[in-house]
Amino acid sequence: MMSLLASSQTPSNDNDLVSIPVKTLKSALLVKTERDYLKNQISVVRDSVYNLNKIIFYQDSIITNQDSSIKLYKKIDIDRQSQLSYKDDIITNYKQELKKEKKKSIFILGGSSIILLLTILI
């Protein structure tokens, strides 16, 4: 049988044998193997990109939630600071009133002592 180039061959029935040079057949098998390998690699890359996109989405959600938590904590801190300031003002006012009351009681005690002393002397 005489070997013919693949491009010069005509379609044949299933019963007919076709001869292809071994080098061409090896090249074709190599190309098919590389194609299958690259197809698998593309599939792996596609799956990896999909999974990484999901991970990024979840991380973005976590960051958004953490940002919301930080804003809430800052608001709570501001509220507590204002409460502390208010209570500090109350304490300051209380101390001032206490000093005034002490002065009054000392004045009253001193005045009543003087009056008592004068009544005893008279």
pLDDT in tens, 13-61: 566 677 888 999 999 999 999 999 999 999 999 999 999 999 999 999 9
Q: Which residues lie closer than 8 Å to 2 by C-beta, 6 or more apart? A: 19
Whole-angstrom Cα distance, residue 33 to residue 36?
5
Residue type, 52: L
H-type helices in the chain, by residue range?
22-121
pLDDT in tens, 55-108: 999 999 999 999 999 999 999 999 999 999 999 999 999 999 998 888 888 878
